[in-house]
Structure 1
Amino acid sequence: MAQIERLSSYRALTLVLVVASIARTLVRELAEMDWTRVRLGGGYARIDGAVYSTYLVVIDEVAEAEEDDFLRIFSHHPVHSPEARRWLQQWVRPEEGAMQDVKELEGYDEMLQKLLDSLPVERQLAGLAPEERLAGLPPAHQLLALSDDALRGFTDEYLRSLPAEVQDAIRRRIGRPSR
């Protein structure tokens, strides 16, 4: 408020709305306000009809258009570069003496999941005990974690006792046709 006198008019103020993606709620609210979204390309848009100059930035679209892996961290797209992954790892680690625990920030779980999804499977599973790696999977699906050599030791009779999707996956991996 202390700087409001510096503005020549309310038109001198520009607002920017940054969203991950265009949600139905945003579309509905723009319509209710009788505002119009004018696409500028590459994930940017101008909102016409508001009192202030208003622009919209859609992170999902900008991250892809500009091939910006750091911006992808905040989008619904996977992160590819090791540099962006390292940056994300630094920020999701709780730091001693931090004013707010990063784990309490909105979107923390989604960002952490994005980091995990960007890692190779071997890194995702590193440090987990075998029972932790398979936790939550039905017993028949746990068999898919075995090596192909171990799966080749199963008899056809045993394979036929498994759910069809597990049986098919095992047969494809070991090159054994159904009988």
Structure 2
Amino acid sequence: MSKNLQTFVLAGGCFWCLDAAYRALDGVESVVSGYTGGSVDAPSYELVCTGRTGHAEAVKVTFDADVIPADTILDAYFTMHDPRQLDHQGADTGTQYRSAMFFADDAQKALFEAARDRAADTWDAPIGRVEGTVVTTIEPAGTWWDAEDYHQDFFTKNPGQGYCLAVAVPKVNKVRAAFSQYVKVA
């Protein structure tokens, strides 16, 4: 039985949170944390954290679209982070934590634009409040750099880590609640 595999590259704050939330969903085949959208070759985590590389912490999510629809993957993305926060998520500040979607082709770009429009219906503030506007950028995919091994599946490897407990757990729980029909059964 062949699979209908698709891959999206998405950034929305620290990649540990996106990684953990996507791994909870049935049909997600793999999640790789990494860096993209910048100008430095083979960046390290330490260098990306300076905010001087232009790279975003991102995840490359590969999923079977026959099991979980592409729109669900994208709607989950807009559930697990606040797309109104420019260049930060919570206390994580800098362009490396921006809300961005990196498209591979025109069809993917159209899917991303539609998802951002759906998110705007949920997230946008009343007219006249600029700070409430969805600021997620849709950028052409560039070179992808895998993050260091210790960042891969970080939440599973470090469930008691403070950041995971304080930040990742609420995001994972929010996605599990909103997309319960797609949550993996242990």
- Structure with larger RCO (C-alpha < 8 A, sep 6+): 2
Query: Fold conserved (TM > 0.5)?
Result: no
Structure number, greater radius of gyration: 1
Higher normalized strand content (fraction of residues): 2
Shorter-chain TM-score tier:
under 0.3
TM value normalised by structure 2: 0.20
TM-score (norm. length: structure 1) = 0.21
Whose helix fraction is larger, Structure 1's or Structure 2's?
A: 1
